[in-house]
Every structure is written in structure tokens, then in C-alpha cells.
Structure 1
Amino acid sequence: MTSASTNDIEFRSVAKRYGSVTAVSDINFAVPKGAFMALLGPSGCGKTTCLRMIGGFEQPSEGTVYISGEAMNGVAAYRRPVNMVFQQYALFPHLDVEQNVSYGLRQMRPRISGAEISRRAQEALEMVRLGGFGKRRIHEMSGGQQQRVALARAIVNKPKVLLLDEPLAALDKKLRTAMQIELQTLQRDLGITFVLVTHDQEEALSMSDFVCVMNAGRIVQVGPPQDIYDRPASLFVADFVGKTNRIAATVDTGGASVVFADGTRVAAPVATTPSAGAAMVALRPEAISLKRNGAAGTAALSGIVTHRIFLGSSVEYSVDVDGLGDFLVTADRRALGDGDLVEPGDRVGLAFDPNALHVFPA
């Protein structure tokens, strides 16, 4: 773990209990200054509890939370150099946009002059591309614009850390994608540490510098998005982050090969040396090549296409593989012509590089 002086946030052996219920246990991680960290996991995994302990809305039952090297246990939320953007934005409907953005500045002591408050509010609105919208009422703003108002309100007093509690959940897919780009741009421009809570894997992978995957109140893997996706530390991570096919298998003595339940034998992936015995193999849908008529290929399997889902830029196939059950296969349409699309009922071959396999103990 890096030293506190290089981190804006640090958790050391943190636990949080509510009576007999343990929400999080033995949490240790650090967020470097100016980084974008995503806390990712299913509902109830403890990610929001961690966010609330950073913000001061909850206090640890054990361990210590540090912000910029200073212990925050017992420090009230309003005394922390942190601001939070809530999922529902929590904007004041009776105030206009500028009044919403400047609300926190007006509560500061010693007081700031009205001219300075207005200047800083306008500056914050410019940062989120809402210059000239200061006198609009909240109900006159679209969902995406309201989200940016909430961001402007959160950054106007220049916090060291900005907390984002699923702020894009209420937006439609196209607007959500646009706001992901805007958040990344804003974070780079401001140089503020962002911590995002989300259960959306695509959102976490596309926006963050680091992803902290949680399950059942514990951290299961922390790392850059590409590491989380390409080198999952456990079957849970492989299953939760993105799509994957699970294959029951056995690793032979010495770990040189993996034998699927149907008897197919493939070389063990070079990156790992799995232990001999029962195993579960994870294989990403995009790592599989689909060939007509059971065409041969490295580690080829054979099956019948049961469903085809056309997604525009790609096509997803569900294939009932002989002796192994359903497989999901994703084909990039850039490598396909319309005549290459396979119909349900066709027999196909599946080929993959054995090094694309992730092997875990059963």
C-alpha cells in the first residue's frame, strides 16, 4: 500500500456493523490523489456503506478511514473535504439553478460576499457546460441537465474528494453514455479524486482508473479495469464483470491440461498453473470463434444454434454444445458479412485459444 501522502482516501482494516449484521469486514484499499475509483458489486455487497463512511454519514465500527492522510473517524460530514452527488440529485425545486449551485457557499463561515458566491457558481456551471442556465428553474431542466446541476453544486466549493452514488442510474442509455464521457472529462479537468458506486459493470470499466469489486461485505479484487476483466481473481469476478461461459472441468495431474465434462481436452492456459482436481472454467463469449458446420479449430466444440440476438455492431448466439449445455458466443459484425450470419437450428463449431480460459477451483 502506498503512503498516506500519495493517497486521498485510505481504508485500514475497516468494518461496519449494524447490531448483529456485518455490512463490511476487513476493508483495505487506497485511492491515489486525482484518481477515479469505482466501487462495483451486487446490491447489498457493502459498496454504498463504504461510500457513506468516506462522506461521514456513517462511522466505522473498527479500523480507520483516512482522507489526505488525516484520520476521519468521528469527524462530522460537514467538516470533511468531501462532497457527494446522490442518485436522485436532491435539488431544491423552489430555487433556480444558480441558487442550487451556490447553496453550500451561502452556508460557509466566515461568510463569502454575494459577488464572490455568484462568480464561483457561474464558474462551476461553465465547467459542466451550463453557462447561461443560472436563472432556469429546476423543472425546466432535462434529466441530464439536472445531473450536471448536481455536479456543479458538488464541485463549487472545490472538495478534495467527490463521491458519486449511482448518479447515472435514472438516465436513459444514450444520455448515460454521454454523461460518462462528461464525468471523465470533468474529473481530468478538475484533478479531483472521484469515487463512484455502481452495480453497472460497463459504467465501472469505462469510467474509472481503478475498480474495487466487492461481494458479501468484502473486497474480492482491486485493479485497473483491464486487469479486472482480462485477469479475474475468482469465478465471482469473472461471472459478475461482463459476460462469461462457465464450464465444469477437471485439471489433470501436473496441471498441463484441462478436461471438460464432455471429455474434450485442452492445454491449460499459460498464465496460470491450476491445481489438479475438479475445476470451473470461465470463457468470455467474444473469445469464441463460431464456424459453420462444425468447422475444425483449436479446441473445437460442436453444437446447435438455439437463438440469435442481433445487436447492430455485433451478434450474440446461444449455442447448445454437445455434452456441455448452453454457450453464449459474441461475433463482431466487422468480421462478418450478412451472408455469414448463422440461423437458429444450424450446427456450428466453436473454437478458442486455450489461453483465453480462466480456471478456478470448483
Structure 2
Amino acid sequence: MNVTATDLEFRQLTKRYGDVTAVQGIDLAVPQGAFLAILGPSGCGKTTCLRMIGGFEQPSEGQVLIAGQVVNGIPAYHRPVNMVFQHYALFPHMNVAENVGYGLRQLRPRLPAAEIDRRVAEALEMVRLGAFAKRRAHEMSGGQQQRVALARAIVNRPKVLLLDEPLAALDKKLRGEMQLELLTLQRELGITFVLVTHDQEEALSMADLVCVMSAGKIRQLGAPQAVYDRPADLFVADFVGKMNRFEVTGRDGVLRLADGSALPGPPTNGPAIAALRPEAIRLSRMGEGLRGTVTHRIFLGASAEYAVELPGLGPVLVTTDRSTSELIEPGEAVTLSYDPAAVLVFPR
């Protein structure tokens, strides 16, 4: 990746719909060849950002730059961008090759037929559908249709490829397979990918740059591990992954609960929220730590999730790896312990 140049940039980008501000003055720079995931709850502005990149919406204020060029006012069909939609938008009356080559046939001046055929065949080979060129789109499986939509998007050789929750309609197993295929394709092409999703797992596993949005603003931008391990604020901590929260007073530089007892963690002063990931907690039948009772267990195969009721604290979520711990039954008394360094503290 060439970190000295950007394929995509927002400069004080704002979008209003009447009295509603969907995107509020955001700045963003995406390096060439990066895989960016824009993550956030419904209504946070992520799809509006995608549509402004694609030219389907125009900014109310600010600028969108693609490959260093301001594209405000330039229509979608004149931008070096292509989009893969959630529902693929394939033409049912066309076969696979005709769907993939549709955009090439609209170019002016017209490309020679032989050049279109060559580029369509090349794109289909990239998504491993070379043998399906003559198959009707509606005869393909969901995963195959997804790859046809990808081939149609990359055949024009865009600077930026936009992905609008393209895996949402797939079952979990197929979604995992397509995530790997997208990653492989992105590395082979070297094209900047921008993925919009509300699925945290999808964003963390695929992107090398994650942008978390809320209420039209960017709350944090960074590498997936940094966003997960070092969330910028309580919203990011809550939204990305699962989190246990404890209200603390922070008296005398010590995390103290409402009853005055100390909670192991980093020193702080003043009212705060202490947050702890479920996987950072060790659960055992014996030992030192916080004592409680298992109320629920969810078996997940390779792991298990427990709800543990702690007197004075309420329910605490714990995730254990089955390769290192045995299953514990609801109703059993347990002890919870953790590394105090794993506790995150946010102002209340």
C-alpha cells in the first residue's frame, strides 16, 4: 500500500436532507489500495457517505476527492467508481457475460467487441466463474450471483470499489467464504475497497482501516485491533464487540463501586464507567476474585458465553475458550478474575 497518496478523501463533508443533518463536517483520508470499512448503527450516515462517493448524492458542504480530484457535481457514470449493491441488481434477462459486460458496452467512444469479450472473460476468471459465462443470472446461487456482481464492478477497472452490505443476504457459512474471496480479490487487484456494514465481525475481519460512525460523525478511525482494544470513547467500546460496564466513583485514584468496595483497574478520579471485554475475564470454580453464580450458558461450539450474577454488580458476561476451560453448568458458584490492565475507563 502506498501510504503517501490517497484514493479517497473527505474534506469537511456535510449532507443535509431538509432539517436533518445526515453527515456532519467529517474529514477522512483513505490510502491507495486500502480496505476501509465504515461501521455504525442504522441512521449513522455511513450509507450517505457511500452514496456521496458514488455520485448518487451530492454534498451540502465540503468536498469528495477521488484520486486527488474533486468530484463534487460529477455524475455517477463519469466517476472512476463502481458499486456492489446488497441485492446485486443483476439483469435477469441477460446471461452472466452480458451482465458483466453491460458497463463496458455503455462506454463512449465504443470499445471493440473483442476488447469487451477479453475484459469480461478476464473479470470472470478473477471471480472463478469463467465456465459460467453463458448461464442465466437467475440460475446462479446466491454466492455465485454475488461474484457476478463483483465481476461487473471490477471490469471497468475503477479507482474505488464501493460495497453496500454485499454479504447481508448470504447465510453465515457462505458469508465467511465470500469474506475470504473479497479479501483475496482486493489484494490481487490493489483497488481501494470501501465497505459499508453494521456487522462488527465483518468489518474487523476484512478491513485494514475501520471508521466507526454515529449521528453523522466519525467517532474513531484506525486499524481494527486498535479500534477494538483501544476504543476512543464509550460509544465505540459498546458498539464494537461486547462489553461489561460498571459505574465507579474513582475516589482517591481507586475504582470504587457504589458500596465503596474497590474494583481492580487503572487509577482514576471522579465518576467514571469501567469497561471490560467478556473474553478478558477468567472464570473458575475456585480461586481469588469476584464471586458469583452462573445464571445462563450459551454453547457456541469452540467457545461458551456465560451470564454470571455478581452480588452488588448484577449480570456479567463472560466468554471462555473451550480448548482451555471446561463447561460450567447454570446454578454453579464461580469466581471471576482478570488482569486490571484490561479494564478501560471512560468519563461518566
Measured against the shorter chain, the TM-score band is over 0.9
Q: Which aligned pairs between 1:159-198 and structure 2 lie closer than 5 A?
A: 159-198=158-197
Rounded Cα–Cα distance in structure 1 between residues aligned with 2:121 and 2:85: 22
Q: Report the alpha carbon displacement of residue 268 of structure 1 after superposing the two structures with TM.
A: 3.8
Rounded Cα–Cα distance in structure 2 between residues aligned with 1:131 and 1:111: 24
Rounded Cα–Cα distance in structure 1 between residues aligned with 2:55 and 2:249: 48
CA contact (8 A) 1:97 1:149 kept: yes
Do structure 1's residue 305 and structure 2's residue 313 form an aligned pair? no
Q: Which aligned pairs between 1:1-362 and structure 2 lie closer than 5 A?
A: 6-253=5-252, 255=253, 257-269=254-266, 274=268, 276-293=269-286, 295-296=287-288, 300-336=289-325, 340-362=326-348
Rounded Cα–Cα distance in structure 1 between residues aligned with 2:308 and 2:260: 18
CA contact (8 A) 1:262 1:324 kept: no
Unaligned runs of 5+ in 1: none
Unaligned runs of 5+ in 2: none
Q: Runs of 4+ in structure 1 displaced over 6 angstroms?
A: none
Match of 1:258, SS state, is coil
Rounded Cα–Cα distance in structure 2 between residues aligned with 1:322 and 1:303: 7
Q: Report the alpha carbon displacement of residue 346 of structure 1 after superposing the two structures with TM.
A: 0.8
What is the alpha-carbon root mean square deviation over aligned residues? 1.3
Q: Report the alpha carbon displacement of residue 115 of structure 1 after superposing the two structures with TM.
A: 1.1
Amino acid at match of 1:250: T
Amino acid at match of 1:329: V
CA contact (8 A) 1:305 1:319 kept: yes
CA contact (8 A) 1:38 1:210 kept: yes
Match of 1:277, SS state, is coil
CA deviation map 1:235-283 (0-9, x unaligned): 1111110111111112124x3x2112343314543xxx64x21111110
Rounded Cα–Cα distance in structure 2 between residues aligned with 1:103 and 1:114: 12
**Structure-2-length-normalised TM-score:** 0.97
CA contact (8 A) 1:221 1:228 kept: yes
Rounded Cα–Cα distance in structure 2 between residues aligned with 1:264 and 1:344: 27
Rounded Cα–Cα distance in structure 2 between residues aligned with 1:32 and 1:177: 26
Rounded Cα–Cα distance in structure 2 between residues aligned with 1:131 and 1:24: 41
Rounded Cα–Cα distance in structure 2 between residues aligned with 1:266 and 1:94: 65
**Identical positions, percent:** 68
Match of 2:279, SS state, is helix
Q: Report the alpha carbon displacement of residue 341 of structure 1 after superposing the two structures with TM.
A: 1.6
Rounded Cα–Cα distance in structure 2 between residues aligned with 1:315 and 1:283: 17
Rounded Cα–Cα distance in structure 2 between residues aligned with 1:117 and 1:308: 56
Match of 2:168, SS state, is coil
